[in-house]
Chain A
């Protein structure tokens, strides 16, 4: 069960990372010079993503102890 959950979690992390990278690339590439809003939004997005990823990771580790 834990192996299956870990594999799914890794796959999810991979897709999430790729998609986040692509969106951030677009913002960096096409934002008008002098705009500060994208930087704030990207910072917030990364912060929330790291928080929820860590939370998910902690729950994943807990599965290992339980199953």
Chain B
């Protein structure tokens, strides 16, 4: 990871998406865990003619595998979340996007090219939890957008501080 950095370049700030993003997914997984009890409550209507002992063993086996499937998908999504990063260094902003497995995109904006930064907080949740969107306008008239950024103003100040030094 540190191979990304140039000589004498130092990491000033590392930004990950706000924990609320992960919390939303965790709630969905919690709801998915609740599906089996609902299904099981209707199961006796379907499995009435079968040996109950055999049915129970199959249900328990299926439940264990179902939880394992949820576990691996949650782990995969968390990894995706954790590896999605914005690294503000003394020279540039490195945007690392992890799209699932074996799909990674690294782009960068030299701080010298930063012209304007817009901070946007929209809605009740973003206001209460203090996160939002940062738009960075660069000299090449390209706009970089970073969504779900926590510590917005701190990030903006750090970028501007180092951009002005350039």
Contacts and interface: CB of A to CB of B under 8 A. Distances in A.
Interface residues of A, number: 30
B58 interface: yes
A49 B67 CA distance: 9
Chain B interface mostly: helix
A31 B57 contact: no
A26 B57 contact: no
Contacts, number: 79
Interface of B: 1-2, 14, 51, 53-54, 57-58, 60-61, 64-65, 67-68, 71-72, 75-76, 78-79, 82-83, 85, 96, 98, 101-102, 104
Interface of A: 5, 9, 12, 16, 19-20, 22-23, 26-27, 30-33, 37-38, 41, 45, 48-49, 52-53, 55-56, 59-60, 62-63, 66-67
